[in-house]
Amino acid sequence: MILINLLPHREAARKKRQDIFNVSLASSALAGGLIAGVIYLWIQGQLASQEHLNTVLTQEIKKLDEQIKDIAALEAEIAALRARQQAVENLQADRNMPVHLLTELTRQFPEGTYLTSMKQDAQLVTLLGTAQSQERISELLRNLAYHSPWLTKPELVEIRATSVALSSKEQRRVFSFTMRVRMLRASEVQKAPVAAGTAAAPQASASMPAKQ
């Protein structure tokens, strides 16, 4: 017996494929929505965590800024105290400067040179005097430059020839000079031997003969 299918099987197959496609499309959309939702929630969680971390960092930075301000204020106070301490030490050291100055001038002035006046401004001393010759003035400059631990950097400002009347009939030619020199403080004098010893050490090492 021969059976003939009179139903529209092509339309039924097409409808079945369409239904399967629609179900797949809906499933894909649902899965995509779920994945997008999960990703969105994860991103929101990361943003919230980062914002919280930023807030904590901002608060800590403010605390550090306040601490830095306090440290800067303390450093300024320490610097001010050190400056005051140094000023007091300089004042105490400067009390003996006139004594050292007069002692050094007495030692370093060669014969034939005479001091007529002196003016001190802080550590700068201006000397006015007379000398029998220019060689005496040169000797005085050398003494102040190399032989005095308390005086340094002598500078001849002016020199001029004048005449001095020894009697009504006799006159002698002399030289008037103006000189500036710097007076060292006690702390500077104490540092000078240390610096000299440090500079001399390499020279002494270089002069030693090598052992064979």
Percentage of residues in the chain having pLDDT higher than 70: 83
pLDDT digits (tens, 9 = 90+) for 60-84: 999 998 889 889 889 999 999 998 8
Cα separations (Å) of 162 from 131, 134, 158, 159, 211?
10, 12, 13, 10, 63
- Binned at pLDDT 50, 70 and 90, residue 168 comes out as low
**Two tokens, residue 46:** 């990361």
Percent of the chain surpassing pLDDT 90: 22
pLDDT value of residue 8 = 64
The overall longest dimension of the chain from CA atoms, in Å, is: 180
Q: Is the pLDDT of residue 107 over 50?
A: yes
Cβ(134)–Cβ(175) below 8 Å: yes
Q: Which amino acid is at 46?
A: Q
- pTM greater than the 0.85 cutoff: no
Sort strands 113-121 and 124-131 into parallel, antiparallel or unpaired. Answer: antiparallel
Cα dihedral sign, 96-105-159-175: positive
Least confident of 14-23, 139-148, 174-183: 14-23
* Residue 184 φ/ψ, nearest 5 degrees: -85, 150
Q: Are 153 and 125 in contact (CB under 8 A)?
A: no
* Chain segment 170-199, per-residue pLDDT in tens: 778 889 999 999 988 877 777 765 444 443
173: number of Cβ within 10 Å: 10
Q: Name the pairing type of β-strands 113-121 and 151-165.
A: unpaired
Quick check: helix, strand or coil at residue 123?
Answer: coil
